[in-house]
Amino acid sequence: MSSAFSSILQTLGLNSTSKKSASATTSPALHKSFPQEPSNGVLPRGLTEIPLAVVAQHDDFSDCWIVIYDRVYDVTQFLRDHPGGEDIIMEHAGRDATLAFHSTGHSRSAIEQMGEYLIGELPAKERIFRNGSAKVLSIGVPQ
């Protein structure tokens, strides 16, 4: 795995050496309701488990969630500030945007800023990048 990719994973909190950002949590009361109890126990970093079906309900300019590397982000307040324009994020609103995110060059600052919008993560059965059965994708990524 390249050091740049490893650095991105670390910044996003997807490796075992990263620290939890104090700004990485948000009140679920600010959002549409979703299950608060994980189906398989305590989640890493204390994040709320949010299924893709719930993410899909947040797909417009006034309520925009995306998934990047199995983490759920509420980017509603960031849409107008996104340097690439809000339309590029809206193409992935309510869906997984990992491939689009990874294929576009993002500065370290931009990646670090993502923690401000982190609200949860996908349930284990819906994860792609941190799934124990996906041996290639799980290298360097905690289970």
pLDDT of residue 78: 92
pLDDT of residue 29: 38
User: In this structure, is residue 122 part of a structural domain?
Assistant: yes
Token pair recorded at residue 82 = 């996104």
User: In this structure, is residue 15 part of a structural domain?
Assistant: yes
Q: Which domain holds residue 114?
A: 3-138
Average pLDDT, the chain: 71
Token pair recorded at residue 43 = 């989640």
User: In this structure, is residue 123 part of a structural domain?
Assistant: yes
Domain count, the chain: 1
Residues 94 and 24 sit within 8 Å (Cβ to Cβ):
no
User: In this structure, is residue 143 part of a structural domain?
Assistant: no
User: In this structure, is residue 29 part of a structural domain?
Assistant: yes
CATH of the domain at 38: 3.10.120.10
Order of strands across the sheet that contains 48-49: 48-49, 118-121, 71-74, 63-68, 59-60
User: In this structure, is residue 33 part of a structural domain?
Assistant: yes
Q: Could you read off the pLDDT of 101-133 as tens digits, one per residue? A: 888 877 788 888 888 999 999 999 999 887 665
User: In this structure, is residue 16 part of a structural domain?
Assistant: yes
Q: 78-83: list long-range contacts, CB under 8 Å, 24+ apart.
A: 78/117, 83/110
Q: Could you read off the pLDDT of 53-73 as tens digits, one per residue? A: 999 999 999 999 999 999 999
